[in-house]
Each structure stands twice: as structure tokens, then as C-alpha cells.
Amino acid sequence: MPHWFFISILLAFLSLDVTAVGQFMVSRPIVVGPLVGWFLGHPNIGLEMGALIEMIWIGDLPVGAHLPMDLMMLSGVSVAFACELVGSQFPPEAVMTYALGVTIPLAALSTEINIFVNKFNVRWVHLAQRMALGGHFKTFAWINWFVVVELFIKGFLVTAASLILIHFTSGLFYLFGTILNGRVMEGLYYAHWLLLALGCSAIIDLLIEKKNIFFLVLSIVAIMSLAIFDQMQGVYLVSIALCAGFAIALFFMGKGEKND
Amino acid sequence: MTEEQPVSLNRKDLTGAFIRLFFIQTVWNFERYLSYGVAFVMLPILKKIYSTQEDRAQALSRHLEYFNTHPYMASFILGAIIRMEEEKQQLPKAQQKQKEEEISALKVGMMGPVAAMGDNLFWATVRPYCGLLAATLVLSSAFQVKGQYWVIPLLFLVVYNVGHVGIRLTGFIQGYRKSDQVVLTLRKYGFQEAIRGLKFASIVLLGVLIVFVNLSELEKEMGLFVLKLTFFTAIVGLFTFVLRRKISPSQLFYAVVLFALMLAFWPDISAMPKDNHFISSKPAAAAGFMADKKPIKGKL
């Protein structure tokens, strides 16, 4: 894997955003994907994969003590791997599906490592307690920066190991592509379209209540009609949807206040 | 023994504490969650408020008790407890113990409701809405064709962080101004109404996303577009039904890939031509698949 060192450094920095520093969401797939893709010369692949990962795992929330799947690692490593494979003779949709499929177990492993780190952090809090009681305030404050460095190193090692590991599965991809007369590639190509449907379902599952499904169907029909008859598409259609959405939102917000 | 002089916090102290708020989750752990983060934010404040090492140590230890809430909404609580610590130091010694208990009670009493509000507002509504907006723009191919790949992630970050940093700052300022009365101000921000509104707004945007996935067919044939869109919507409905049965997205991912592979190997369904179009003879053609994509209907 070319550039594995620089990608690991980049992803280690971005991994700090997940919990340690800020939570500005620079570690979300929609940002990490295009960034890694741009770094490797395929921003389009990064953008498409980032959007797909963002959609599919949109409902995996860090609520309470639950740690969601390490999406930063999933998007960064899978995009880097897809960029490596995309120059081959196979369709990019199949490449993206394959790259995601082989990276998911590694992302799950990374999540387990995150859980271990969070258990280990208990020791830092106990140390902080001793420092506080002893009046060692400088050491107390330094614990914060030690943990930032610890998380950076963890992010680097996990990403670097994943990138190196995943590189060895590229042979399998070419094997699938050639010995089975392209059938596997065809399947992976279809899967990409189905995964977009899965992404839409994940959004519905999280954002749309059962009683509002009718409005969603109505919205699809309205947008479809606009697309067919008014030739109103692309970014203009998104703008119209945003304005309409906010108008409806304001209407229902007002209604809610009256009901309260 | 001399009486302690009351100390007031200035703008610089509060700005420092606000910046430290962005590190509240650094030492997140399964025993005391954000406790270290709270103490880390409070450290320079306590150093200024309390004159003796003993008082500082005692106050810092108090803030290392169990604390778990939403990282953004914690600003409301942190602002309030900074003000209460300041007020406590200005009280006579006899009343300070009671103020300590009030500070602890405020933290314990507010962390649950504020966490629920923050989780619902940011994790379950604002972030998914921004993600949905970004995904819709990606599928519209509006910016990719011009090579402006950076626009969509940047838009996502700007839209999200205006809300995120805005709430953190407002919460911190209001918490500091209102002190233990901050809980009464939370309702006036209309978080519940915002959640309801954004969920309605996402219905329209999701409609656009679903249409965009199948829009390439419209350039070929209208009937095929409508048929594919209907089929796609039905599949989305099926997947939603499965997801509501609490099956994880990762499991469903592999199930979908397996199903698609079976479909490809099924002899009657597979439309595999003899000259396999899924294996392009020109690698560059496959690599630049989106570089050649036209903006949808060329309106851009």
C-alpha cells in the first residue's frame, strides 16, 4: 500500500476528533472519505464511499456507554484500499463494495480496541485523583495531554496495521475477478445499488416515524414528478427540497407550540 | 487568620474554560465517564478562586466524581457550576458546605435530562440531517463534475458546527449567567421543536435522495426510471422493516452482498453477456467513472 505511513498519520490526527478533541465531526466518513481519496488521487471514490458509509451506519449512535462502530477507521482504510484497486479493469462500484466488505471486520476490531482504551483510561482517572489530592496540579493537567498522545499513537498503529493487513487481500479480489468469469464482480456491482437502498432505510429508521411514512411516499412522488416533467434536477432540486423541508418544519414547529 | 478576599472571574478566565470544554471527553472511561474532563475545565478556575493549596485540592477532588452527559450540552452545566463555585467562595465559611452540596446536586440532577436532550438533538437529528444533506449532494453529482470535491464535506462541517459551537457557547454563557436557574432556561430554546422540525425537513430531502439514486435511468427511458424507482422504494421499505427488528447494519451489509452474489450466479436471472461488460478492457475507463459524469440534466 503506497503512502500507508502518511495516511496513518492523517487518520490518527482525525481519530482524535471522535471523542478526545472537539467532536467537530472531521472524523465522519463524509469528510474522511473525500480527504483520503483526494490524498490518493481519487476524491470521487472517497466522496461516494464516504456518503455510503455515512448513510448505512447513520443510526449507530454513541448514546450512554455504547461505543459505535469505528467509522473513521472504516471509511479511511476502505477508501485507501478502494483507491488502490480502482485502477484495475473492474467496475468501481464492485471495488467499493469489496473494499468495504473486507474493512468492516477490521473496524469492528478497532471498536474493541477503543473499548479496551476506555477501560484503561480508568487508571488515568485514579492517577488524576491522587494528583488532585496531593496538590500536583501540573501533573493533573498533563494527564490530559498524555491521553491525547496515547490516542494518537493508538490511532496510528491501528490504521497502519489495518492498511498493511488489507493490502494482502487485494490478490483475492483479482482472483475473484478473473477465475469466476466476472460473476463475483457482477454480484458486487448489484450489491452497491442495494447498499444505497440499505443506506436510505437506515435514514428512515432513524429519522422518520412510522406515522410519517405517507409523507415520505408523497415526497418521492412529488420529486419524481418534478424530475420528469419540469426537468428540475441536480443542485436546484436539493435547494427546493431544503426550502420546502424548512417551510414544512416551521409549520409543524408552530403547530407543536400551539399544542403544548 | 485573615479572611479570604472574594475573587471574580474575568472574560479571560471564562474563555480559557470554554476552550478547555472541547477536551471534556479526552479521558472518557467506563467508570466515571466525563469526570476528568469536568475537573480539567475547572482546574484554572479553581486555581484562581481558591487561595490555598488545600482548598484547591479539595474542590478539584469534588469535581472528579461520576459525571456523564452529552459533551456539547455539558456547557450549560459547566457554565452554571463555574458561577456557583465563584458564588460559594464569596459566602461565609459556614454556608459553603451547603453550596458544595448544591453544586453536586445540580450536576447529578441535570446530567441525565441534558444528556437525553443532547443525544436526541445532535446525535439522532442534527448530525444525521447534515449527513443526509451531504449524501444527497454527493448523489446529485453537482459538485464532482466541476472537480469541486471539497464543497460537500466543507458544507457538512460548516452547517453542523454552526449549530454545535453555537450551542456550546450559548450554553456556557447562559449557564454562567443563570447559575443554578439554568435548568429553567433550557425549555425556551425549543430543542424539542427543532428536533420535530428537522425530522419533517428530512422527509423531503430523503425523497430527493431516493430519486437521485435511480435518476440515471431517466436519461434512457422514463418508464424504466419509474419502474426502477418503484422497485428501489419497495426494497428500501423491506430493509427498513428488517432494520426495525434490531438487526445491525453490518450484518445486513453482508446479507445484502451475499444476496447480490447469489443473484449474479443465478443462471436464469443473470444477464451476463458473453463478452463480459463488467470487466472493462480499459482500466482508465473504470477509474474515472465519475469524471465523465454529466451534471444531472445539464442544468448546472
Q: Which residues of B touch A142 (CB under 8 A)?
A: none
Are residues A139 and A240 both part of a single domain?
A: no
CB–CB contact A125 B150 (8 Å):
no
Please report whether residue B248 resides in a domain.
yes
Q: Identify the residue among B202, B242, B251 best suited for mutation to test binding to A, counting A beta carbons within 10 A and taking the highest.
A: B202
Q: Are residues B245 and B177 in the same domain?
A: no
CB contact under 8 A, B253 and A25: no
> For residue A33, what pLDDT band results from cuts at 50, 70 and 90?
very high
Count of A-B CB contacts under 8 Å:
408
| A25 part of contact set with chain B, CB < 8 Å | yes
Looking at the complex, does the CB of residue A191 fall below 8 Å from at least one CB of chain B? Answer: yes
Q: CA of A65 to nearest chain B CA: how many angstroms apart? A: 7
Mean pLDDT to the nearest integer, A221-244: 76
Strand-pair partners of B67: B33
Helix, strand, coil percent content, chain A, rounded in steps of 5: 80, 0, 20
A117 and A58 in a common domain: yes
Report chain A residues whose CB lies below 8 A from the CB of B247: none
Tell me how far apart the alpha carbons of residues A175 and A216 are, in angstroms, rounded to a whole number: 43
Q: Which residues in chain A touch residue B282, judged by CB atoms under 8 angstroms apart?
A: 89
Residues B155 and B32 in one domain: yes
Domain edge (last residue) among B139, B155, B189? B189
CA distance B34 to B21: 11
Among B20, B204, B280, the strongest candidate for a mutation testing the A interface, having the largest count of A CBs within 10 A, is: B204
Query: What pLDDT does A204 receive?
Result: 94
Q: Which residue has the cell 434490531?
A: B246
Give the separation between CA B83 and CA B102, rounded to whole angstroms.
12
Please report, as a single letter, which amino acid is at residue A71: L
Q: What is the pLDDT of residue A70?
A: 94
How many structural domains does chain B have? Answer: 2
With an 8 Å Cβ cutoff, are A238 and B142 in contact? yes
Instruction: Examine the domain organization and report whether A203 and A214 are in the same domain.
Output: no
Mean pLDDT, chain B, rounded, equals 84
Q: Are residues A149 and A186 in the same domain?
A: yes
CB-closest option in A31, A95, A207 to B128:
A207
Tell me whether residue B228 is in a domain: yes
- Closest by CA to A195, choosing from A85, A98, A97, A67, is A97
Evaluate if residue B169 carries a pLDDT over 70. yes
Question: Does residue A146 have a pLDDT over 90?
Answer: yes
Same domain, B158 and B228: no
- Model pTM score: 0.88
C-alpha cell of residue A188: 458486487
Torsion angle (degrees, nearest 10) of CA B113, B74, A133, A148: 130
Rounded Cα distance, B178 and B84, in Å:
10
CA distance to partner chain A, nearest, from residue B77 (Å)? 17
Q: Decide if B279 and A65 are in contact by the 8 Å CB cutoff.
A: no
Return the residue matching grid coordinates 448489484. Answer: A190
Nearest CB to B131: which of A20, A30, A90? A30
C-alpha cell at B96: 459553603
Report phi then psi at B243, rounded to 5.
-60, -35
Quickly count: other Cβ atoms within 10 Å of residue A116's Cβ.
11
Q: How far is A164 from chain B (nearest CA, A)?
A: 22
Does some domain include residue B199? no
Both A160 and A260 in one domain: the answer is no
- When divided into structural domains, chain A yields a total of 2
The mean-pLDDT minimum among A102-111, A139-148, B220-229, B247-256 falls in B220-229
| C-alpha span between B130 and B116 (Å, rounded) | 20
Residues A215 and A185 placed together within one structural domain of the fold: no
Q: Which of A41-50, A108-117, B282-291 has the lowest mean pLDDT?
A: B282-291
- Of the pLDDT bands very low, low, confident and very high (cuts 50, 70, 90), residue B154 is very high
Phi and psi at residue A87, to the nearest 5°: -75, -5
Domain assignment of residue A218, given as a range: 210-260
Q: What percent of chain A has pLDDT over 70?
A: 93
Cβ of residue A142 closer than 8 Å to a chain B Cβ: no
Q: In one letter, which amino acid is B41?
A: V
pLDDT band at A259 (very low <50, low <70, confident <90, very high): very low
> B278: domain range?
214-298
pLDDT tier at B293, thresholds 50, 70, 90:
very low
Contact present, B107 and B32 (Cβ < 8 Å): no
Closest residue to A129, CB basis, from B64, B150, B264: B64
- Interface ipTM: 0.91
Query: What was the pLDDT predicted at A1?
Result: 58
Q: Name residue B222's amino acid.
A: M
Same domain, A94 and A174: yes
Lowest mean per-residue pLDDT among A224-228, A253-257, B57-61, B221-225: A253-257
A158-215 pLDDT tens trace: 999 999 999 888 888 888 777 766 788 889 999 999 999 999 999 999 988 888 888 8
pLDDT at B132 over 90: yes
| Count of Cβ atoms closer than 10 Å to residue A245 Cβ | 24
CA B92 to chain centre: 43
Give a yes or no: residue B118 inside a domain.
yes
Q: Are B13 and B48 in contact (CB under 8 A)?
A: yes
Question: In this structure, are B185 and B37 located in the same domain?
Answer: yes
Query: According to the model, what pLDDT value does residue A186 have?
Result: 87
How many other β-carbons are positioned within 10 Å of the β-carbon of residue B114? 22
Contact A20, B26 (CB under 8 A): yes
Q: CB–CB of A249/B212 below 8 Å?
A: no
State mean pLDDT over B124-153. 87
End-to-end CA distance of chain B, in Å? 77
A69 and A194 part of one domain: yes
- pLDDT digits 0-9 by tens, B57-112: 999 999 999 999 999 999 999 999 999 999 988 888 888 889 999 999 999 999 99
